[in-house]
A and B are shown apart, each in its own frame.
Chain A
Amino acid sequence: MRGQILISRCLSLLSVVFGVLLLTFLLIHLVPGDPVEVMLGESATAADSAALREELGLTQPLVIQFGTYLKKLAQGDLGQSIHTKTPITTLIQARYPATIKLALVALALGLLIGIPMGIFAALHAGHWQDFVVTIISVRFSAMPAFWLGPLLMLLLAVWLGWLPVSGMDHSTSIVLPALTLGFGLSAILTRMTRTSLLEVLNEDYIRTARAKGLSERTVIVKHALRAALLPIITIVGLQMGSLLAGTVITETIFSWDGIGRLLVESIEKRDYPITQACVLIIALSYVLINLLTDVLYRFADPRMRHA
């Protein structure tokens, strides 16, 4: 039964990926902008432009172009950059690990800050401590990366001199972009943990646990938190999907050579194959993380397991 559910989820995810591929293909071919003109410039002759368009296969009907693309994709060939002729697999291999690394560190920071703050706020619900945490988390969630990033640079890099401003040259270069992403994530997790924990703390079984004379620490950690963290799995899954999709602004601000930056550069240059490959990788990451979240949820929640 579980196997059937898993297969059905996988099939629906595949259809999502196919839909994303089709939509991306159509969109990037329909928006204004011609890669041939980008490559040859405005002074190119019509004959040269036509020859290059032919060479790149851009003169074929869209259906044929899409079919060719899918065929190559099935063979594991993502194509090559129109402009630099670099194999796209090489570009993805160079860029995606950086995005994964940044996403994992940002997620760790988000969890490390967000969950304890959420617990703290829930345990002091209605008091000034709760109010302070709420203010902080609302502020964090309202700070866009293009503002928070430079602010952290100014504070931690320029004024205090603890960290490098940007780039990927030092082992500590990841801290600032990860903090920029992690603060936003922690704000969501704080709010979610607080709300979830407050709900659980009002449950009868928590009252029973307290009545049994268990210590408050045991009640919170062993009974309340376990149940309260279930919705967090979903949030973490969704956020991880977003992080792996490449955090374009953060990667750009911090000169972090990840997939988000590669995607934006390819759109600017109308480098269709790179755009398609990036979207494919992002879509795959998203659906795989979603699948993983579903599976984890089933393992973590006995009600789902026996449903």
Chain B
Amino acid sequence: MKFFAYLLSLSFVLLGCTPTQPASTPATIRMAIAQAPLNLDPRYATDAASERVNRLLYERLVEFDASSKAVPALASWQQLSPLHYQFTLKHQSAFHDGQLLTAHDVKATYASFLTLPDAPHRAEFEHIARIAVVSNQVLHFYLKQPDPHFIEKLIIGILPATGIAQGHDFAHAPIGSGPLKFVRWQSALTLARVADGQQITLTEVKDPTVRVLKLLRAEVDVLQGDLPPELVGYLKSKPDITVKSHVGSNFSYLGLNMQDPVLKQLKVRQALAHAIDRQAIVRQVMVDQTRLAEAILPPEHYAGNRQLAPYAYRPLYAKQLLREAGIQLPLKLVYKTSTDAQRVRFATILQAQMAPAGIDLEIRSLDWGTFFEEIKQGQFQVYGLTWVGIKTPEIYAKAFASNATPPHGFNRGRYSDVTLDQLLLKESWPAVTQRIHQQLPYIPLWYEGQFAAYRAPVRDYAAQSDGNWDGLATIQLLK
């Protein structure tokens, strides 16, 4: 009896815990994210979370429209010659510390790349010969060699020249001129909207189930992306949670090693493409608005191609193609992927789908560092990855040109195709995408749908196609 009394008193200790009342009208909008930003200096940021926050903290010279064409943001431009561009700041902006943003700040930002040996984006700007400031509003960029994609690269957030000169720690205490300003960064990152002072916190919660539970408990107000479909479905069933989906543009694919004696045969690659029932996967285990992909850039992109016919699921035809290629069945292939649960799930589905086609897929899931290193080293037969936030067709050259093998580019499959190289030089995007689709150095999979889930008092938060968090600049609370 005494023992049960003891257990009862333990329960009372628990009951005595002061419940944290979920705020019904939070002064701050709280968003839970899967991965905290690593570096808020736009010259150094490479991870998705940092880039997404930096889009809110800083202004950029150019932006992309719905078809991913570069359009003026902070500045309009004129190409005076293949090596000479003039930029004119469109409006008077001010940094969050009160300083005016001028052409000197633009120059200081881009010039600093040339003196920072450890800046990841440095290579993209090494062909800048010099930058000349004409006035507070006008500046000129001179290049060492022509670059048709130069404008599209000018998406780095502009930093104040004085801060750059003083070696200010932008990574942890950013000063930008974007719609949100930095407040503090302790366990959570707190930002404030410049227009109305609305505070927004971004808290890292790695586990997807915990993010969902925090939303249900009203400990956070918004989630965006990074949830498995079953959790999205669960959230949809909750009356006090709103889930909004949006078509995505991040391209998922299977990468193939083109040096592999088996995979270098076109018929084998075609067999792989016909051995996957993408429709079934999209229908059964993907979030809403996921659509089949045929090329890295989606059809609505200005370099997109709507004419590419999908590879239908035909396992018997796939088997026939393998036999025609002289392959002894079953064809054993090793598929490398990360340890991410959703990735492993896809791998398992692919394994099951490919079996009737006579393909025996062995799954090897590795920690991210090891997995990515092996992919870059070309130590794979088949792997699965996603291109995130790609805006420019230059990706085709970086991913498939013969001279773009790592570390010179992202041609991790060591694909070499003279015909494609010529088409890439001409920048004939329909022909380029057609050729890649025919030759299959990648097996295209899908553009995963984007979604956001939120609860009152938040209203009208929308996910973006590339998963950015721009919606935080305009997110509103119910009155």
Q: Which residues of A come within 8 Å of B, CB atoms? A: 31-34, 37-46, 48-49, 51-52, 55, 83-84, 112-113, 116-117, 120, 146, 149-150, 153-154, 156-158, 161-172, 175, 252-255, 257, 267-270
Contact = CB atoms under 8 A, between A and B. Distances in A.
A32 B203 contact: no
A163 B203 contact: no
B117 A48 contact: yes
Contacts of A269: 38, 369
Contacts of B17: 162-163, 172, 175
Contact of A267 (B118, B209, B369, B373): B369
Contacts of B470: none
Interface stretch (B103-111, B119-127, B142-150): B119-127
B46 interface: yes
A84 B374 CA distance: 25
Contacts of A39: 118, 120
12 contacts: A32-B373, A39-B118, A40-B120, A42-B376, A45-B122, A45-B123, A150-B207, A156-B14, A157-B217, A158-B217, A166-B213, A166-B219
Q: Which of A45, A48, A165, A255 has the most CB of B within 10 A?
A: A165
Nearest to B207: A253
Given A42-B407, A161-B19, A166-B219, 12 more contacts: A33-B370, A33-B373, A40-B120, A45-B123, A48-B122, A48-B123, A49-B407, A146-B207, A154-B213, A162-B19, A166-B213, A268-B369
A189 B376 CA distance: 48
A31 B120 contact: no
B interface secondary structure, majority: loop
Contacts of B376: 37, 42
A55 B116 CA distance: 13
A270 B369 contact: yes
A161 B15 CA distance: 10
Given A84-B38, A175-B14, A254-B210, A165 B217 contact: yes
Contacts of A33: 369-370, 372-373
Interface string B381-409: 00000000000000000100000001101
Interface in B122-173: 122-124, 126, 171-172
B204 interface: yes
Contact of B117 (A52, A154, A165, A268): A52
What are the 5 tightest A-B residue pairs by CB atom distance, in nearest-first order? A32-B373, A33-B369, A41-B120, A172-B17, A120-B3
A172 B6 CA distance: 21
Contacts of B46: 41
